[in-house]
Every structure is written in C-alpha cells, then in structure tokens.
Chains A and B, each alone.
Chain A
Amino acid sequence: MKQFGILLLALCMGAISSCRKDLGIKCKSFTRVNVTNVIGTSAFHLDSTHTNAAGEAYHAYLLKYYVSHMSLVNENGERVELYGHELIDQSVPSSMELGDVEIPDGHYTALEFNLGVDSLHNHSGDQAGDLDPMYGMIWTWNTGYIFFKHEGYFTSSTSGTEQPLIYHYGTDRALAPVSLPLDLHVDNNSSVIQLQFDLNKLYSNPNVVAFTGNNNHQSISTQDIPWINMLRANFPNAFSANAFVFLVE
C-alpha cells in the first residue's frame, strides 16, 4: 500500500509539472495493451456460430486464458515487462484492457509473453489478483492453473449432432512462449498496442485440430499430451500485434 502511495505521489508530481513538448519539458511515455479475440477478420463473440478449419460449426459460451510477463523488447534486445499475470476473459470487457504502463523511450521491435502461468506461480492457489482461484482457472485437486479454457458446443462431422466441447489446457509443459514482431517508436509519446487472438488459427496453424472425437481434453491424462503439444505449437501463430502512437500536443 505504501508503494502504491509513492506511485500515486510520483504520478501527481508528474501531473503538476505538466510536460510541455513545445517547451522541451520531458513527457512520460505510456503504453497500454488492448486484447481482442477474433475469428479471421471478424470479431469473436460468445454464443455466435463460427466454423473451424476442419469445417465444423461451433460456438463457445466461455473463453478465458492467461497471458504472463508481457514485455516489449527493443532493438538492442532489452526487455521492459509491462504486466505480470493477466486473465483475459471474453465475458469481462475490462479484462481485455491491460492498462497504462510507463515505458522508456526507444524503438521496440517485439512484443513477447507466455500463454499460460509460469512454473513459479503455477503450483499454489495462495495468490491474489488475476491468479485468485475464484476465477475458476485452477485445478483444486492437483494444484495448477488452467492456462486456456474453451467450453461450448460443436456439430459433429460424423453424426451431424451438436456435442459439447471442453478444452482445459494447462500443466507446466503447456506454457507457450509467444514472440510477435512490432514496430513501435516511443519518443515523448504514448501508444496503444492492439493484440489479437484468432481462435480459428489456434485450431489450424500449423496443426489442424478437429473437434469431432476430440472434444474433451482436460490436461489430466497422457492421452491429452499430443493435444497439448499441438496447441502449444499453434499458440504463437494465433496472436498478432500492432502498435499505434498518440501524438502529444
């Protein structure tokens, strides 16, 4: 709480001295990451019907995942960590706006993060913030976080009937590092990074994951391991990032 107070004070001082670019007074540069879930070029919506690469119609009533240690990397390879562990929940719009972070000026060429919870945080429920167990993203009988949860229904390609889909992706082996190219010049300016997650790419690039006969994976048996390996390989290709700079008057 004390540190938070100091932070507030620092912010306050910054506001009082009010940067003036025209007078050469240094401004603080902030960036923020906003996340959007998409299907190709369309927005993803819960309970809307989409079609995956295997040609199966599906809809999700729940889509949640953790991104951790999201960092900007500059052209010299130096990292600035923006966030710790963040839970993205399609049903909670505020969870998809990760908030302002002050960053040093520089030319940033990559956005890097993990899909999932790092192994230091993955084995205890005694945690707060987005890792609070009340978000239902933890296995309570075998302490570990569910990194990615997609629950919904799909139309079976063999029977033509609608069937449930439960994908609970996790365990340490499932942590998926993601590195996305970016071109962000920060010099006395603030910026927004748009991070997109394409659910259909998760199920197709490069490994095509069909739901029929493959609709219940909870990362609890050895039979789930090939599925984990396929998704882990796909996750880096399911994300993309673009940066936009605000000009400060």
Chain B
Amino acid sequence: MQTIEIEALQETALQSIAAASSSKELEQVRIAVLGKKGSLTQVLRSMGSVPQEERASLGASVNTARVQLEEALELRASELKALEQSAAIKAESVDVTLPGRSQPIGSEHLISRLTREIVEVFRGIGYRVVEGPEVETEYYNFTALNAPADHPSRSQQDTFYVHDRSGTESRVFGESEVLLRPQTSPAQVRVMENDELPIYILAPGRVYRRDTADPSHLPQFTQIEGLVVDKGISFAHLKGTLEYFCKEIFGPERKTRFRPHFFPFTEPSAEVDVSCGICGGSGCRFCGGTGWLEILGCGMVDPNVFGFVDINPEEYSGFAFGMGVERIACLKYDVPDLRMLLEGDMRFLRQF
C-alpha cells in the first residue's frame, strides 16, 4: 500500500461523504471507510506487513487521512442533520388556525359566579359567609325580624307556606308557622343569637316568593344579605360600605343614591340605586328614563331586632342590606328572560 493509494482512497471516501444524502447513507460511508472492516481500517490492520522503513510515513498518511475523513464526516453529518431537521419540521408543519384538541372544561352558573364575586368583595373587607335553612319558621323569618304579626308580606299571596307537621294551626287559613324563606335574613338572626360580637357577615342563598315564573319573575331566586353589628356603627358606614360594593361590582364610574324606604327589620331604611350603565344617568329605556337602577335595600338594624336576640342597642348598633343576585345579573348582562337561569340550556350556561 502506497501513500498515493491512501490518498486515492481518501479522495474516494471524501466524494462518498459529499454524495451521502442522508445521515443513514453517511453512516454507511463511515462504516465502509472507518468501520471495523472499513477500507482505511484495513490499511491500518495491514501495517504489520508494511516494511519497517515505510511504516512511519505510511502511518502518518493513514492518520492524516483518518483525521480529515472524520472531520469531513462530522461536517457532513451536521449538514445533513440540519437538512433532515428542517425537512422534518416542514413535514410536521400544521395549519395553526385549526382548532386545538378540545378539553372539556365546564362553566360556572351565572348566578353562582356573581354570588362568588359579591362574596369576595365583602370577604375583602372582613366579612364571613353564613348559611341557613331554606324552609324557615315564622319566628325567624318574620317575628324576630320585627315584622308585625299581621304584616302584609306574611300574606299567602307573597309567601309560600308548607304544612307544619308539628300540628300547630295558623290563625289565617292557608298560612302556617313554617314557610319557604322569602329572604336570607333569618340566617342573620341565628348568627346574632349564637355568635360573638362584633358581627360582619354575608348570607347568600336561595329564597322563594310566590310569583309565577315569567321573563322578569321567578318563584325561587338568590338573595345576598349582609349584617354588621359593632360599636359605633352609623348610617355613614352603611353608605360607605355599599358605595364601595357598587363600585367594585359595577365599576368605579358608577354613582349610587340612597332613597328612604321602609323595612320592618331596619330603621332608618333605604333603597339604593346605582346610576344606569347604559345611559350613564341621563335616562334611557333600560332604566325607565330615570337614570337609576334599583339594586338593594338596606338600613340601620332596628333596636327591636336587637331586643329579640339580646344585644344591647345602647352599646351596639349595626346595619343590614339585601340584594337579589338575579336582578344584578339582569343589570350586568341584560338577560332577557329570567327563566333561562333555571332551564339548564347548555347554550346559555356555557356563555359564562
């Protein structure tokens, strides 16, 4: 074997390397030259038969050839790899505008979502959430809330009554001492009876009123009521709290106004309006031309109520408020028909 032959071998190998069109072909070229039975390896193996005096120079030539071939292989390998990668990338390219694989994520009911948002606003200013039974006694729902015995709201036109299985009869036909709560305030009475002062609570929950379901009425809906009992609580605190709430839920640009009203549970009492979000307060069809939307009722806890739960009104004062979540949902989302909230229509539910 002569140096010249090695050079020829190297030349052929370099050509093969250059001609290899894939990593796989290149590997075959490598094996053919540098593998165990490769042509150059064979040369090295046959060194023993090379005369002593030629061995050094031949050895050097072989080594040089090997180094150069390895370099060439490496270079070509990286070239091919890059080519192959880009080919692979090209082959795998997709239409990125096609939809992704669907993940079945569910939605929260609009009323739950709003309830949670409202609860979070109040949790942020130190309120906790309490719950109570939906079927209540007349005592917790009316009497302890200072509703006179013959208050019209007790009428069976307005309140659902259920059969009292304890055997007690009511003085008015068709009424009983057990009823579906038309408000969540009885839960507040239970808290005032049982819990330590001060009290900062929110009572969300399902309530019932004897209205036939139509686009703007439901016989069952969701109410959130709040109660604060502490030392030194004033009407100014009630205003501040509800103004904060309205800005958080409806937006900082919205205004509120308090209109005096009457509720047996509170005194002084007020209804709260928030400025119309559609017309900004100038009056439109949405707000009936008044520029205002009624959203809640509130007031200072009536001292008589404190009397029922043994809180000293000389020491403590408080305020209470209540709002209908469905009404707020209508104001925020303009839901055209409240009955949609109870139909379970997937096309409706999945919008929220």
Partners in one complex: no
